[in-house]
Amino acid sequence: MPVPSDISRYFQYSFVYSFYVIGSISLVVNSATLFIILTKSSALTREVKLLTVFQQLSCLLSNAFFTLFFIPFFYLQMGGGYCMGILCFVVPYQHLLAVQVFLIMCMLSSFGMMLVARQQMIIWDTSIFKLITPVKYVIYAIIIGVTHQWTAVAIVLLSSNRAKQNSELDATIYYWTIYRSTEPLFKFPCSLCCLCSLSCKCSTSFYGKTDFNAMSVFEEIMSFPAAVVIAEGVFGCSTLVNSIVIVTRNRAYLAALSSNFRRKPPTTQQPCIVPRISSAVE
């Protein structure tokens, strides 16, 4: 297990074991919820059932991968990180991050499509907002495309060579600042840029101690490891809460869950007691 130099070993193992506990509980609850949806959702339409299964399956896979196999720790200010999960010994961090982005986007797209489907179920058929089936499928495709653009970005970044990009960038900057700046056409713009950069640096250093805003405070808060751990823990528990809400809000699911853990006591038929009616005439 990789151990970074800026985080203590006690903090790291506490972080990993807490995610193992959250992931194990969430895996059991999400799997049970998925089984109940598959077996007790006969009252749902085919479209809503498919969306519900897709939503629950994406939540299950995303949470299990995040809390058991990946367990990332992000450095937000530098845009990097490392992982401490089971697969980190055999799979690079960049590949696991791309898979995690794909699973998260699947989960977000499932929630978006579910919102559209439920909105179409509760409105009247004569409403102007009622969509025909082809238009609704086009909206589903748009939701999937918009969310999975971040998956495409992650794949592009994964296939790029960062060392080659940095070397080309350094060579370009060196070329424009050293060779082309000596030409008369570029002397004035380069001098103006240097002057503007120097003035901005001086003003920033002068007002640096008094210029505070909400974004700077947020960046300072999120730079602490504890804040990152809390944010990742909340995300890890989100699908667990979603499964609990799904089961508790549906009576059929709740009855199925209760029948799996409770056994009804055997009922014995009570003897039928016929009241004796005395005759009025003796």
- Over residues 96-153, the pLDDT tens digits come to 888 999 999 999 999 999 999 988 888 888 888 888 889 999 999 999 999 999 898 8
147 falls within a domain: yes
What tokens does 95 get? 């590949």
- DSSP letters of 24-56? HHHHHHHHHHHHHHHHH-TTS-HHHHHHHHHHH
**Residue carrying the six token digits 């056409």:** 185
pLDDT of residue 164: 62
Instruction: Say whether 270 sits in a helix, a strand or coil.
Output: coil
Q: Which domain holds residue 30?
A: 9-160+226-261
Strands (E), 76-195: 80-83
User: By mean pLDDT, which of 88-92, 202-206, 247-251 is the weakest?
Assistant: 202-206
From the list 52, 32, 24, 25, the residue with the least C-alpha distance to 260 is 32
Residue 102 located in a structural domain: yes
277: in domain: no
Q: Of 38, 39, 62, 61, give the one whose Cα is nearest residue 50.
A: 38
Identify whether 67 is part of a domain. yes
Percent share of the chain, pLDDT over 90: 15
Task: Tell me how far the alpha carbon of residue 192 is from its chain's centroid.
Answer: 46
Q: Are 19 and 60 in contact (CB under 8 A)?
A: no
Question: Is residue 107 classed as helix, strand or coil in its secondary structure?
Answer: helix
First and final C-alpha spacing in the chain: 97
The number of distinct structural domains making up the chain is 1
Band of residue 43 on the pLDDT scale cut at 50, 70, 90? confident
Does residue 34 fall inside a structural domain?
Answer: yes
- 170 assigned to some structural domain: no
Give the pLDDT confidence of 122-133 residue by residue, as tens digits. 888 888 888 888
Highest mean pLDDT range out of 56-65, 151-160, 240-249?
56-65
- Confidence (pTM): 0.67
Give the Cα separation of 160 and 26 in Å (integer): 35
CA 139-144-150 angle, 5° bins: 140
Is 86 domain-assigned? yes
Q: Residue 36: inside a domain, yes or no? A: yes
Compute the distance between CA of residue 146 and CA of residue 273 in angstroms, rounded to an integer: 71
Decide if 22 contacts 67 (C-beta within 8 A): yes
